[in-house]
Structure 1
Amino acid sequence: MSTPMTRRDLRERMESGEAPAMASVPPSPRRRRGIGRMLGDVLLWIAALGGAVCIVLVILAVTAQITLIMFRTGSMSPTIPAGSVAVVQHVPASAIEVGDVVTVDREGELPITHRVTSVADGPTAEQRVITMRGDANAAEDPFPYTVSSVRIVLFSVPAVATLIVGMGNPVVLGALTAAATLLVVWAFWPRSPRRRERGVT
């Protein structure tokens, strides 16, 4: 049975030029993360980021009345091309100015999003009569709109409407849900402790 080596013994051997036996010092184990584990962590971070974005959007929709709209046509090109998604905020008619891009809800028809070309007082103090025209259109819309509120475009992101529409597909939603479930189960599945290196007790 060998006598344990103290720090003093080790220092004396070093000063005398005698190298200590390296075999007596147990190697420190190193934890190595596999590629699969690292990929799983990246996917978890992406999923967490997506969840955080969804939570922020819900909070903004409730507190600041900020929502999203999709552009199916190119009437606002090149400013907002078809396939873009715009972030809009609900504002009173009194806040409308010429040059704003706003969405007007029409009874019995789809909403329309064009640029405001003129603003006039409406039948009541809260209402305004506005005319609009799409940036890609040669003429203004056929008739003015009497509004008490609109949704004003804050900014837009091109070429993401198709992705959002695709994610609304039941098959895609089911696949994403199953993948997220498997990812969470894999991340939190209990693992056996790593085996200690041979020769270390």
Structure 2
Amino acid sequence: MKRALHLLGELFLWLAAVLGGISILLVVLGWAMNISLIMFRTGSMEPTIPTGAVAVVQEISAEEVEVGDILTVDRDDQLPVTHRVTSIEPGAGSAERVIRMQGDANETEDPHPYTITEARLSLFHIPHIANAVNQLNNPYLLGLITVVAAAGVGWTFWPREEDRPCSSAAPSPAPASPPPRHRPRHTSVE
């Protein structure tokens, strides 16, 4: 039983270390490559991207946008919109583009064009996980995860009886040293 608990503790630590390492790697990659997540709350991109999906998006410059791309564009005083690019025109400056977009489930293009210098390109999406990801904002859930992780680490590192020196046993005697060698005395006979 003790061995099983020890192995369970070791497994917990390895799992926590791997998940922590993956989390750090994803944060660094996200920052270095301008990658973020977008949650879909409407069905305007169905069936390509269903309601409740989470898309991984990468920020790109307007010069990189192509017709057919699925882009997330920021709008003043409104939530961002994620639709498919239907046309691209040059903007006022060399880094600016005027695009028109339409949701795959919509029968008409969006009513107004979007003037952009950058946008977020949808790389891929994972269906039906938006609610789970959204729950990570819940302070009670975050508190529970923190308490469980702290309890797991504490339980793993808590001293066990087999790890403690036994205080009731008498100290073992020092090894006996061999008796000194005596040279035999020789007497001389005359």
Which interval holds the TM-score relative to the shorter structure?
0.7 to 0.9
Could you say if the C-alpha distance between residues 94 and 52 of structure 1 is closer, same or farther in structure 2, counting changes exceeding 3 Å?
same
TM-score by length of 1: 0.75
Structure 2 counterpart of 1:170: 139
Kindly indicate whether residue 86 of structure 2 is the aligned counterpart of residue 117 of structure 1.
yes
**Which secondary structure does the structure 2 equivalent of 1:184 belong to?**
helix
Could you say if the C-alpha distance between residues 97 and 180 of structure 1 is closer, same or farther in structure 2, counting changes exceeding 3 Å?
same
Structure 2 counterpart of 1:64: 33
Structure 2 counterpart of 1:90: 59
**Which secondary structure does the structure 1 equivalent of 2:82 belong to?**
strand
* Backbone CA RMSD of aligned residues: 1.8
Tell me the amino acid that sits aligned with residue 170 of structure 1. P
**Which secondary structure does the structure 1 equivalent of 2:104 belong to?**
coil
Task: Quote the Cα distance in structure 1 between the aligned partners of 2:159 and 2:8.
Answer: 18
Could you say if the C-alpha distance between residues 55 and 147 of structure 1 is closer, same or farther in structure 2, counting changes exceeding 3 Å?
same
- Please say which structure displays the higher CA radius of gyration: 2
Task: Quote the Cα distance in structure 2 between the aligned partners of 1:61 and 1:91.
Answer: 13
TM-score by length of 2: 0.79
**TM-fit CA distance, 1:44:** 3.5
Deviation by residue 1:7-50 (Cα, 9 ceiling, x = unmatched): xxxxxxxxxxxxxxxxxxxxxxxx9732x444444444443333
Q: Percent identity?
A: 50
Could you say if the C-alpha distance between residues 37 and 139 of structure 1 is closer, same or farther in structure 2, counting changes exceeding 3 Å?
farther
Task: Quote the Cα distance in structure 2 between the aligned partners of 1:160 and 1:128.
Answer: 33
**TM-fit CA distance, 1:104:** 0.2
1:15-94 maps to which residues of 2 (within 5 A)? Answer: 33-34=3-4, 36-94=5-63
Q: Is the 8 A contact 1:57 1:67 kept in 2?
A: no
Corresponding pairs, count? 163
Task: Quote the Cα distance in structure 1 between the aligned partners of 2:15 and 2:55.
Answer: 23
Could you say if the C-alpha distance between residues 94 and 183 of structure 1 is closer, same or farther in structure 2, counting changes exceeding 3 Å?
same
Task: Quote the Cα distance in structure 1 between the aligned partners of 2:41 and 2:15.
Answer: 28
Deviation by residue 1:93-143 (Cα, 9 ceiling, x = unmatched): 000001100100011110001111111111111000101111111111111
Which stretch of structure 1 is more off in the superposition, 177-186 or 68-77? 68-77
Task: Quote the Cα distance in structure 2 between the aligned partners of 1:100 and 1:140.
Answer: 14
Structure 2 counterpart of 1:131: 100
1:2-21 maps to which residues of 2 (within 5 A)? Answer: none
**Which secondary structure does the structure 1 equivalent of 2:3 belong to?**
coil
Tell me the amino acid that sits aligned with residue 150 of structure 2. T
